[in-house]
Structure formats: structure tokens, C-alpha cells
Structure 1
Amino acid sequence: MTSEGTPIIELKDVHVAFNSRTGSLFKPTKVHAVRGVNMSIMRGQTLGIVGESGCGKSTTANVMCGLQAPTAGRVYFNGEEVTKRTAEARRRIGRVVSVVFQDPATALNPRMTVEDQLADPLRVHRIGTEATRRDRVGELISMVGLPSSALDALPGQLSGGQRQRVAIARALALGPDAIIADEPTSALDVSVRAQVLNLLTDLKRELNLAMVFISHDIQTVRYVSDRIAVMNKGVVVEEGPAARLLEDPQDPYTRTLLGAAPSLLHPTLEGEL
């Protein structure tokens, strides 16, 4: 059990570099996707990470959830350093942090029913009996606002918004401390984006989760975030409370994002958030 003052996730001076296809065989060109990033996410808080494509925000998220090892720097989960991940550490990370990906159509197995998709994480981690897993699956589907009849459906029989609700329910299956939502509404119709954003916000509050919300649309990020980090070319150029950062941006790149990016939400839906 961690104290309230301990971040769920903390990155300290994290760098991620990749070898690119350019350069020679013996001297490949290095691409620095993330440069010296420091971030911490507290329980009950939403951190929005915003920036244009290629700015390093998704690579940063991958480091947070254990999908990408940093080239340099340190990573902590609930105060424990997990930079060099053993198999046991990866299992623990899977219990602490869950991810909601951009496109639910590819994130879900098209041949598994919704019930099996939601029970699968519980089986993998050997949590409970089949009876208690069924009960948990029923709780999860209700939590995301879908009827129990959806449990018998295949993903292809659901709408995009319903599939993303299933993906969110699966991310909650193990009772994580944090959710990383990587562009979770960009593949959805405009009419359901506000509903999914509201669902994520409500769940974060009800379950006292930490949440990382990643998007290239700063106007969408502002609705769900307590704090916002703006990334450009692998660097966090500005971070602070959402209201202050948006009302008084200090970095020219933040001002450019605010001026250039129209909201991904339909204007008539903005009042719902």
C-alpha cells in the first residue's frame, strides 16, 4: 500500500533513442524520440499529454506502461524503481497500469465474445474462480454503461463507441491504479466522443484512478485533464495546471497549438463536458 503522496507513475530524466534506417550498417542514425522527460502522475489526477504526431507522447506513454524500456533515466511505479524490468516486475506493472488504445477494432480479438475478452485478464493473472470472474465481468460491463446482453456479442457486432467501452472495461478488469488512454476517441464518430470522454472522467473519479490522456488535440485534452504536459520534439516544453497553462501559455509552441488546433469535439457537444 502506498501513501497518498507517492506518485502512481514517475519518470525521471527519461530518454528513448532508436536506431533509424538511415546511416550506415555500422553507424546507424540515432533518433531521439524522448529527451530528458520528467513526469509524475498522482492517484485521482488526470495528466494530459499533448503534441503533434512524432513529438514523443506515445513513446512516453509506452515507457509508462512498460511496453518500452528507456535508453536512460529511471521509472517508478508506486515508489518502486522498475527501470530494469524482470518478468515479475512486468506482471506487477500489468496490475498497476492498463492501457486504452486508439482503435478498439484492432485492440479487441474479433473471434472472442465480449465476456471472454473481459474475463481473459483475470484468467491470465489467475484471479478468482470462474464464478467470481463471471461476477466481475458483469460488474465491468455495467460500469461502462453497456447492457449484459453485450457479453454474448463479438466485437464486429458492436458499434465503434460500444467497442471502446468494452476496451475500457477490459482495462479496468484487474483494478489498476492508473489508466493510460492513447488517443482513445480519435477513431470514433464525433457524436460519441463526448460520451466516451465523460465515461473516462466519471470512472477516474469514482475509482480514484490516475489517468494519462494522450492526444494531439489540446482542446479535447483541456476537458479531461487536471494537469497538461506539452511535448515537442521529444521534450516537455511546458507543464502545469490545465487552467493556468491554457489561460496563460508560456511557450510559443503551446500558443501555436492553441491557435491552430480546432476542437475534435463537435461544438454542440462541448456543453456536455
Structure 2
Amino acid sequence: MSTPVIELREVSVDFRTRSSLFKPQVLRGVDTVSLSVRRGQTLGIVGESGSGKSTAAKVLIGLIEPSAGQVLFGGEVVRRFDAATRKRIGRVVSVVFQDPATALNARMLVRDALSDPLEVHGIGNAASRRARVAELVGLVGLPQSVLDAIPAQLSGGQRQRVAIARALALEPEVIVADEPTSALDVSVRAQILNLLQDLKRELGLGMVFISHDIQTVRYIADDIAVMRHGKVVEFGPGSQVLSNPAQDYTRTLLEAAPSLLQAQKPHSLPHLLRSETRP
């Protein structure tokens, strides 16, 4: 089995809060979590709000330093969580956020938003960056005309495609998608999931897909980690976790989650995914 691109080993994250001026308290956001992501694999992380799933994702991309445990990047333990380390991880692990409207600069043309990561990392020259930007919009199924638009001129689905294109700019090995479809209409969610699946196959990407909706994760994840109160309470292949959950909490998520499947009756999500095509 290949070496994980990034791995958490018994990682915990503590946040200090103050209930009063003289009594600081420690809130454990993530508690002894072990996860790994490899190229070509999709890891789904599910749980209700406050379960620790987004905090775990921030550790995966180097934005939060763990209070305990180890983070391994390319098989090597990360010793320092400084700007240089975050930049190095950022070349290999990219992020797609929940709301593309806030993830993109409202005043920046799409072409500038897509070329910005290339400029920050000193990749190529002006001509090669222009070519890469044109390639990126085609890769996510958008016309070249969007390059001269600002985010407000695009639909929600188009903005999320731009955000995905931006995440692909540096040719990462892994994409971390944090609730990437929750701000979109149901039919558009299916299209974005289809796009992510296609990109995973075409580019050999690893992916971390984070959601509160376990019914949506079932269609995209190879393995599923169910989180509650900062802990991974259930982990395994998606088919196993969903067909024979070991935890009552997992069963509750399955019963309670509003899913694409439920919302699209009489159509199923797989039907929507097959019918959606990219130029």
C-alpha cells in the first residue's frame, strides 16, 4: 500500500477558553484522532456541527498545530507548523470551502483568482500561467468567458467550480472539500459531486470529503470516519459503515440526514450523476 500523502496519528487539539477572568478552561476539539489520506482514495468525515470534523481537516492542511500526537506529510513527521511548512503542504494539499461566495475575492476577476496561487508559489511565467488558467476552467466544465467575470456575476454552482479550479491550480495530490455542496441547490450539488468524482479519476487525486450528511458522503467516499465530540466513533469502508453500522450514533445520522437521494425522489443520486456531463 502506498505511503499516505498526509496522516494524523492520535492527534488531539485543545482550545483555551475563559469562563471567567481568572479561570481559563480547556476545550478538546479533537481527541486522539488517527486518519490518513492516499492518492486515489476518498475519505469521508461525517458528524454533526461541533463534532470536530472541520478542526481535524484544518490539522490535515497545516492550519492548526495539534496539542498532542503526530502529523506526517509524505511519511515524515511534521516538526514545525510555521508559514514555510504551511506553504509546502499547500503545494500538495488544497482546500475547497463550504461557501464559494466567501472563498473567492469578490473584486477579483476569475482569471486573476486562478493565477494568484501560481504567482504566490512562483510557478511559471506570465504566458504559462495564462495557459494554465485557461486549462483549469475547461477542466471544471466552465466556458472561457467566465475568466472575465467577477464572482457576483456567476451562479452558485459556477462559483464552486471556480473554487475547485483554484484548488487544482498547483496540481495537488489531495483536495480537502469541507461541506462543498451544502450552500448549493440540490440538483447543483449532484453536479459538483459528479465533477469531484471525475477529477479524482482523471487526476488520481486523494480527497477528504467533509459533511454532516452521511447519505451524501456514501456516494463519494471509499472509507468513512464518523466523528462525535472530537472522537472518531466509527471507521471503515463506506459500504460497511452504511450497511451495518456498529454505533447507534451512526444509525441516527443515517436516519436523520436530509440526503440528495431523499430530496430527489423519484430520481436517485446515481441517476443524476450519470446524466450530468462536462464539456
> Could you say whether these structures have the same fold, taking a TM-score greater than 0.5 normalized by the shorter chain as the test?
yes
Distance in 2 of aligned mates of 1:262 and 1:85: 37
AA aligned opposite 2:47: G
Q: Does 1:53 align with 2:67?
A: no
Structure 1 outlier segments of 4+, above 4 Å: none
Aligned partner (choices 105, 108, 112) of residue 116 of structure 1: 112
Counterpart residue number, 1:131: 127
> TM-score normalized by structure 1?
0.96
Instruction: Please say if 1:8 is aligned against 2:5.
Output: yes
Give the structure 1 partner of residue 59 of structure 2: 63
Q: 1:203 aligns with which of 192, 196, 199?
A: 199
Counterpart of 1:243? 239
SS state at 1:196 partner:
helix
**Offset of residue 28 of structure 1:** 1.0
**Structure 2 CA distance for partners of 1:57 and 1:83, relative to 1, 3 Å:** farther
Q: Secondary structure at 2:210's aligned position in 1?
A: strand
Secondary structure of the residue aligned to 1:122 is helix
- Asked if residue 259 in structure 1 is aligned to residue 255 in structure 2, the reply is yes
Map 1:7-26; keep pairs closer than 5 Å: 7-22=4-19, 24-26=20-22
Contact 2:63 2:86 in 1 (8 A): no
Which runs of no fewer than 5 residues in structure 1 stay unpaired? Answer: none
Shift, 1:9, TM fit: 1.0
Structure 2 counterpart of 1:161, from 154, 157, 172: 157
Contact in 2 for aligned 1:194/1:269 (Cα 8 Å): no
- Amino acid aligned to 1:134: R
SS of structure 2 residue aligned to 1:224: coil
Q: Which runs of 5+ in 2 are unaligned?
A: 274-279
CA deviation after TM superposition for structure 1 residue 21, in Å: 3.4
User: TM-score, normalising length from structure 2?
Assistant: 0.94
Give, in whole Å, the separation in 2 of the partners of 1:83 and 1:204: 30
Question: Is the CA contact (8 Å cut-off) linking 2:140 and 2:164 kept in structure 1?
Answer: yes
Matching residue within 53, 73, 84 for 2:80? 84
Q: Secondary structure at the match of 2:36?
A: strand
> Contact 1:100–1:179 (CA<8 Å) still a contact in 2?
yes
Measured on the aligned residues, the alpha-carbon RMSD in Å equals: 1.2
Shift of 1:258: 1.0
Deviation at 1:87, TM superposition (A): 3.0
- Pick the aligned partner of 1:99 from 95, 99, 124: 95
Match of 1:41 in 2: 37
Instruction: Specify the alignment match of 2:136 in structure 1.
Output: 140
1:5: Cα distance to partner?
1.3
Corresponding residue number in structure 1 for 2:187: 191
**How far apart are residue 85 of structure 1 and its match?**
1.9
Tell me what 2:226 maps to.
Answer: 230
Q: 1:61 to 1:219 in 2, by over 3 A?
A: same
Q: Contact between 1:55 and 1:233, CA under 8 Å: does it hold in 2? A: yes
Per the TM alignment, residue 264 of structure 1 is displaced from its structure 2 partner at its CA by 4.1
Would you say the 8 A contact 2:62–2:85 is kept in 1?
A: no
Deviations 1:192-215 (A, max 9, x none): 010000001110111101100000
Distance 1:269 1:248 in 2: 21
| 2:61–2:86 contact (8 Å) kept in structure 1 | no
Same amino acid, percent of matched pairs? 66
Shift in CA distance, 83/245, structure 1 to aligned 2, threshold 3 Å: farther
The amino acid of 1:13's aligned partner reads: E
* Residue 268 of structure 2 corresponds to residue 272 of structure 1: no
For the residues of structure 1 that align with 2:79 and 2:57, how far apart are their CA atoms?
14
Q: 2:26 aligns with which of 27, 30, 38?
A: 30
Aligned length: 269
Q: Is the 8 A contact 1:34 1:56 kept in 2?
A: yes
